[in-house]
Structure 1
Amino acid sequence: MYLFGLHILDALIIIAYFLILILIGVVVARRIKNQEDFLMGGRRIGTWLQTFMNFGMATGSDVPVGASRETFRMGMAGIWVHLFTLFATPFYWITTVWQRRLRISSMAEVFRLRYESRPLESLYALIGIFYLIANISLAMITLQKTVQVVMPKQEHALTVEEKSYIRNFARMDELRTMAKTRSLNSVEKQEYESLQALNSQGKVQSSVSVINPTFLLLSLSIIVLFYTVAGGIIAAAITDAFQGMLLIVLSFLLLPFGLVRIGGFSGLHKAVPESFFNLFGTLATSEYPWYYVVSLVLVGLIVFESAPQNPQVMGSARDEEASRLGRINGNMMKRFAIILWGFTGLIGFALYQNAVSDPDMIWGYMSRQLLGPGLIGLMIVCLLAALQSTVSALLVSASAMFSKTIYEPLRPGRPQKELVLVNRMVTVIVLVVSVLITLYFQDFLRVFKFMLSIGLVFGPPFWIAILWRRATSKAVWAAILYSALVTVLLGNFGADLAGFAKSGYFCRMTDEKTALVKAGANQKDVDEGRALAVGQVLEKAIRIERRGIFFEEIVRQIAHDPHSPLIGRGRFRVSLIFPALLGVKLDHLGVGDLNALGFYLDILIPFLIIFLVSLFTRRNSREGLDQFYGRLQTPVRGSPEEDAVEMERTRANPMRFKQSKIFPNSNFELLKPTRRDAVGFVAIWAIVTLVILFLYLLTQIGK
């Protein structure tokens, strides 16, 4: 018996999961007495709930699917699309203290308190809400694709048009395989470009789902809205604890079935090119060389520390210790899980490299092929848990920014009942907008990069706010305007401007290259005399196609016409104009090189703007600066009531912790590390080393 394309056992598991979430929302709703309870949980959340809230918050459904997608595409080097945050984790031991000591409900408040600017606060709130919407959409895109693959239409139910989509996939995959070993002739190239154009329109699919994507997203939205609107951040924390257990199950679920099917670890090494086990790929073929990973680490630190959701996650902890331990524990759990998810993608490549057109769908395809009734339902529930554990906290953060930054200044002194109602209404609106965007955009990487670009607008001003007293409001405005124009607007929408997209200068491409990689021989190699047996290690020539320098993709304006002019598509790397003008030969670089260089410039230039403009503009008031840095230097003590007494003492004497600075009489606000700071920092680096060792050993088993 089937329901919505699922075995009845799978459907019952999903229904039971939804009922548990609804029950949590009903129970927790009784504890919400005021806005502080709804947004911050009364700042009483302990280490255990903080651990799972951080784990759930950091692990949307895009993470397991994204990690497996990139290892399916690039081998284990692709795992760095999410595992790059591993190297940022030790710094969380220090920065989490800042987050808790800020004592704010909305990250936008930092810009009012430090830069004494209501307009900056409001601008952060508006951009921050867009950032959260992009984050929610990111998780929804991957979940939608994965669940759709798990719930396919039977062949007899396919329409004529849907059958053509599947035929298109088979032909496109055949041409793509041919292009890896030789140049396509003009007819094949024209056909391939036509199929690429159809693929961007959603008309190339390995399977067609029985479930409507709009129905799927609306169903999920109703559930997550129910418990979030009812219980706020407390409901998010409690459901995260429940859903965190499911995420741990998700980490292991596909691995044993996939390994058995492929013949264990030794069978995996025979079926996958040896270069796929290189942690950073080869410099010739990898899109994730080590210096690109370093750029991702820097971007991650800058973006994630200024992220809008931080007050609801770290700021809701009962004290600094609970906030610190919860963040480290939750994020380390995620790092180990990412390795297992990435390894799942590698197994997927070995088994189904010729059966999946869209790498985003590999997780769903593996679930359908490897799992039986009951287990498929469990898999879907785990992915739903990954989505909803992230979305609930993001919705509360969006409502906090609107109410604290926009609504309350316009309508001061409103009763708590009204403020909680406003927060609940905003969560509904934000989720509706996120669903609409998800239905329009289906490109995971484009949304991911859009989200990072938004974060880069306010990341540098946040870090400067914490560390340098001399930074001025005018300098921050200059940096924000630069990043908003270059990194966000032109970076994401430059392809829509004909003057850039059709420019011969910006449509330049990298040189075509050929790289030798080691790979196990397949049956075709044996049949054609290149190997004596399947699995024998051979050196194979891999052709590296030309790629866009300034634009991610360069295609023909008319897909069917090989003589049509070129046009840029995808992200526009505007900042690469600067090295190009200085004479750097960008056409000799690879994709990883171009991405890394673009990220370094996107990070560095805003910092330079703030430093230079600050030196020539008037600094903020001494009283405002003393109060802000006095707040950051005041440890969080005891209950909220006891901490309020400590803050009153700081407001009366904001310089009382001046000697805790490394340079007490300078403009640099670096605090002296305590013994616990130093020991924790070193210990976490030791754990990072163990994680990397675990990853390396995993790639060597069966070699």
Structure 2
Amino acid sequence: MHSVDILVMILYFSVLIFVGILGARRAKTSEDYIVAGRNLGFTMYLACLAAVILGGASTIGTTKLGYQLGMSGIWLVFMLGMGIVVLGIFLAKKISGLKVLTVSEMLQSRFNRETRLISALVAAIYAMMVTVTQVIGMGTILNVLLGWDMTVSMIVGGGIVLFYTILGGMWSVTMTDIVQFVIMTIGIFFIMLPMSLSKAGGWSNLAAKVPANYFDFTNVGLETIIQYFLLFCLGMVVAQDIWQRIFTARTMTIARYGTIGAGVYSFLYAIVLSIIGMCAFVVLPNLDDPQNAFASMALQTLPSGVLGIVLASVVSALMSTASGTLIASSTLIVNDIVKGYFAPDMSEQRFMKVSRLTTFTIGVFTIICAVWIQDVLVALDIAYAVLSGAIFFPVLLGFFWKQTTAKAAFYSILVSTVVILVGLAVKGISSTDPIVYGLIASFVTITTLTLAAPKQKSVAAE
């Protein structure tokens, strides 16, 4: 990298830290810290939601898939977007009307405290693992571009996110997300895409140079498409980091249409990154590690100065998701476990202190996990396998089947989580089977126990 690009990156990091400090000044209550005072307008809400959806796996992972498989690389992010659109159409109105802070708190209001506890643990694990994927992504980018050791790169990137998230919670995350959304949109759509196509010789030359099956949208394989649906589409519907963003919307209308808009943005993002991956295949056909396709293509294609902007856009995508999932995990632990079970009368000041300490602890833990795993797609698969398989049916049936019992919901989460973890251990963390087994176990458990329960024990939806 040229010194100009390094200067741009340093300036970008400095802006994020400054904006994060400004956000900290607005975080005066627990609602400010957790859901930005429930006061975001449409534009800010859409930008922040899109920023948290599209992170390291979305950017680096989709470019990698585009490099290896062509246009069928869209399916990972396409399923994320589909989950968000489904959420916006069918559930955003219900979610935004809840006077809760977490998915688990909703499950307690619908079922019981035990269901809240176990769902909080599962959802917190999911959020932590998604944060791990973002730290890995930041490490990958800084490692390729600056030549730093991978471990050092992850510590630096993760440390900056941890700093501004601890300071102001959701207000700091929201304000930095606005900056990150603008930069990632400009960098990916208006700089990287056209310049990658130009470097590859234009669309016609690209089409002639890549294998014919690169334009087959099923090239990734039907089994993988189904896997992405089960992991990412269903996972988005019940993800705490997404629900927490919905709670920040000022009105139900903003929550619904802003959520749908963020889903559509995700579809476009998927297409653009797959094309960039295909361009990298033409320009750099012998990459040792396809996970470096985006960063290597940027180095090969972009002039000094512009390179720094595009790299900042990638880091923006990573940091926005990392901060969102970090605060989501912290919220679940503090609100649903610490406050819910050990300190129900916790004061606002005490809540803020415990939240910051918990955020710090989780942040350090995720950086350690990132150093250990170091594969962005593997970490993402683990996160969504546990979330989708364990939480999807209790949340869905909790909304739409009022006969569902608290006992059924609790044991559904417990049984499916065990099934998924055992399946991942036996079949391997890249296998599709554990998520299928988990969903089946969840559905069978919750329906069987509900139907077997005496009618007078059924819990009516509130």
TM-score bucket of the superposed structures, by smaller chain: over 0.9
Q: Matched residues in 2 for 1:145 and 1:478: separation?
A: 39
Indicate conservation of the 8 Å contact 2:77/2:266, yes or no: no
Cα offset, 1:318, TM superposition = 1.3
Q: CA deviation at 1:212?
A: 1.9
Matched, 1:272 2:210: yes
| Aligned residue number for residue 30 of structure 2 | 35
Q: Give the distance between the partners of 2:165 and 2:432, measured in 1 at CA.
A: 38
1:89 Cα deviation after fit: 4.7
- Rounded to whole Å, the distance in 1 between the matches of 2:193 and 2:85 is 29
Asked if 1:94 is matched to 2:90, the reply is yes
Contact 2:118 2:414 in 1 (8 A): no
Partner of 1:344: 276
Residue 438 (structure 1) shift: 0.5
In the alignment, which of 413, 421, 424 is matched to residue 480 of structure 1?
A: 413
Contact 1:491–1:573 (8 Å) recurs in 2 = no
- 1:52-93 per-residue CA deviation (whole Å, 9 max, x = no partner) reads 111101011221211111121112112212213444454222
Q: Is the 8 A contact 1:70 1:345 kept in 2?
A: yes
- Alpha-carbon distance in structure 2 between the residues aligned to 1:296 and 1:258: 27
1:107-136 deviations in whole A, cap 9, x for unaligned? 1112211112x2221222222221111101
Determine the structure 1 residue equivalent to 2:253: 321
Query: Cα offset for 1:214?
Result: 2.6
Q: Secondary structure at the match of 2:103?
A: coil
Does structure 2 retain, via aligned residues, the 8 Å contact 1:62–1:143? no
Distance apart, 1:486 and its partner CA: 2.0
- Letter matched to residue 108 of structure 1: S
Equivalent position amino acid for 2:391 in 1: F
Look up the equivalent residue of 1:103 and give its one-letter code: K
Q: Which residue of 2 aligns with 1:614?
A: 450
Amino acid at match of 2:336: T
Q: Which amino acid aligns with 1:100?
A: S
Task: Measure how far apart 1:245 and its partner are.
Answer: 0.7
Provide the residue aligned with 1:119 in structure 2. Answer: 114
In structure 2, distance between residues paired with 1:620 and 1:334? 45
1:137 maps to which of 112, 132, 135: 132
Query: Counterpart in 1 of 2:349?
Result: 417
- Give, in whole Å, the separation in 2 of the partners of 1:619 and 1:396: 40
Structural mapping, 1:426-437, within 5 Å: 426-437=358-369
Which residue is 2:197 aligned to?
A: 259
Match of 1:381 among 312, 318, 322: 312
SS of residue paired to 2:155: helix
Q: Please give the alpha-carbon distance, in whole angstroms, between the structure 2 residues aligned to 1:103 and 1:620.
A: 27
Aligned to 1:297: 229
- Residue aligning to 1:368: 299
> Which residue of 2 is the match for residue 493 of structure 1?
425
**How far apart in 1 are the matches of 2:139 and 2:437?**
34
When the two chains are superposed, the root-mean-square deviation of aligned CA atoms in Å is 2.1
Equivalent-residue separation in structure 1 for 2:300 and 2:400 (angstroms):
52
- CA offsets, 1:146-187, max 9 Å, x none? 332223xxxxxxxxxxxxxxxxxxxxxxxxxxxxxxxxxxxx
Question: Which residue in the other structure is 1:658 paired with?
Answer: none
Provide the C-alpha distance between the structure 2 equivalents of 1:233 and 1:471, rounded to a whole number of angstroms: 33
| Aligned pairs for 1:54-69 within 5 A | 54-69=49-64
Matched, 1:217 2:185: no
The 5 A counterparts of 1:185-200 are none
Rg comparison, structure with higher value? 1
Determine the structure 2 residue equivalent to 1:440: 372
Residue 481 (structure 1) shift: 3.2
3-state secondary structure, aligned to 1:412: coil
1:73 to 2:6 alignment = no
How far residue 616 of structure 1 moved from its aligned partner, in angstroms, is: 0.9
Deviates more, 1:292-301 or 1:446-455: 292-301
Shift of residue 610, structure 1, vs aligned partner: 1.4
1:228 to 146, 154, 165: 165
1:288 pairs, out of 193, 216, 221, with 221
Structure 1 residue 347: Cα displacement: 0.9
- Which amino acid in 2 is paired with 1:140? V
Q: Matched residues in 2 for 1:438 and 1:121: separation?
A: 28
- 1:574/1:486 CA distance change after superposition, 3 Å: farther
**Structure 2: gaps (5+ residues):** none
Contact persistence 1:148–1:364 (CA under 8 A): no
Which protein has greater RCO, CA pairs closer than 8 Å, 6+ apart?
2
Q: Which amino acid aligns with 1:106?
A: T
Amino acid at match of 1:150: L
Distance 1:111 1:262 in 2: 51
d(CA) in 1 for partners of 2:194 and 2:432? 41
Q: Is the 8 A contact 1:39 1:232 kept in 2?
A: yes
TM-score by length of 1: 0.62
C-alpha deviation, 1:480, in angstroms: 2.3
Runs of 4+ in structure 1 displaced over 6 angstroms? none
Seen in structure 2, the aligned counterparts of structure 1 residues 231 and 71 have a Cα distance that, compared at 3 Å, is same
Query: What does 1:532-571 align with in structure 2 at a 5 Å threshold?
Result: 551=427, 570-571=429-430
CA distance in 1, matches of 2:2, 2:433: 50
Q: Which has the higher helix share?
A: 2
CA contact (8 A) 1:472 1:619 kept: no
Secondary structure of the structure 2 residue equivalent to 1:108: helix
- 2:260 partner letter: I
1:391 counterpart = 2:322:
yes
C-alpha contact (below 8 Å) 1:84/1:296 kept by paired residues:
yes
- Establish whether residue 250 from structure 1 lines up as the match of residue 187 from structure 2: yes
Is residue 14 of structure 2 the alignment partner of residue 19 of structure 1?
Answer: yes
| Aligned CA distance change for structure 1 residues 570 and 237 (closer, same or farther; 3 Å) | closer
In 1, distance between residues paired with 2:400 and 2:233?
14
Residues paired across the two proteins, number: 458
Kept in 2, the 8 Å contact 1:317–1:323? The answer is: yes
Q: Determine the C-alpha separation between the residues in 2 that align with 1:613 and 1:268.
A: 56
CA contact (8 A) 1:239 1:389 kept: yes
Report which of the two has the higher share of strand.
Answer: 1
Secondary structure, in 3 states, of the residue corresponding to 1:254?
A: helix
- CA shift for structure 1 position 475: 2.2
Question: Quick one: structure 1 residues 573 and 270, their matched pair in 2 at CA, closer, same or farther if it must change by over 3 Å?
Answer: closer
Gaps of 5+ in 1: 1-5, 152-209, 282-286, 495-550, 552-568, 576-598, 631-703
- Taking the aligned partners of 1:298 and 1:491, their CA distance within structure 2 comes to 15
Measure how far apart 1:385 and its partner are: 0.8
| Separation in structure 1 between the aligned mates of residue 386 and residue 360 of structure 2, nearest angstrom | 22
Match of 2:397 among 464, 467, 475: 464
2:313 partner letter: C
1:312 corresponding residue in structure 2: 244
Could you tell which deviates more after superposition, 417-426 or 87-96? Answer: 87-96
- Contact 2:72-2:217 within 8 A present in 1 as well: yes
